[in-house]
């Protein structure tokens, strides 16, 4: 599976979980975030970048906004366990 398809599918998984999780949880704290959660949150953030077709912009957006997606990443990782 190529990278852009993987990022798109990850973003869709984050979208499926994010609305229910965001309403129930407070803003995420990045101090207790595991490496797996951070990487997954970065992938979800990159998929939600305003211009997904530009890899650099998606990466910059993910670097800035990944803490906003930690809750969704945790929910997806917990669902897989």
Residues 34 and 18: their CA atoms lie apart, in Å, by 18
The confidence score (pLDDT) of residue 4 equals: 62
The confidence score (pLDDT) of residue 9 equals: 62
The confidence score (pLDDT) of residue 23 equals: 46
> What total of structural domains would you count in the chain?
1
* Residue 5 pLDDT exceeds 50: yes
Range of the domain at 70: 3-80
The answer to whether the CB of 15 falls within 8 A of the CB of 68 is no
* Residue 14 pLDDT exceeds 70: no
End-to-end CA distance of the chain: 22
pLDDT in tens, 15-63: 555 554 444 444 545 578 888 888 889 888 888 888 777 888 888 888 9
Cα four-point dihedral sign 46, 52, 53, 56: negative
The confidence score (pLDDT) of residue 54 equals: 82
């Amino acid at each position: 599976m190529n990278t852009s398809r993987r990022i798109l599918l990850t973003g869709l998984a984050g979208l499926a979980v994010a609305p229910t999780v965001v309403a129930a949880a407070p803003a995420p704290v990045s101090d207790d975030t595991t490496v797996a959660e951070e990487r997954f949150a970065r992938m979800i953030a990159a998929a939600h970048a305003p211009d997904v077709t530009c890899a650099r912009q998606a990466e910059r957006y993910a670097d800035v906004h990944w803490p906003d997606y930690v809750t969704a990443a945790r929910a997806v990782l917990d669902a897989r366990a």
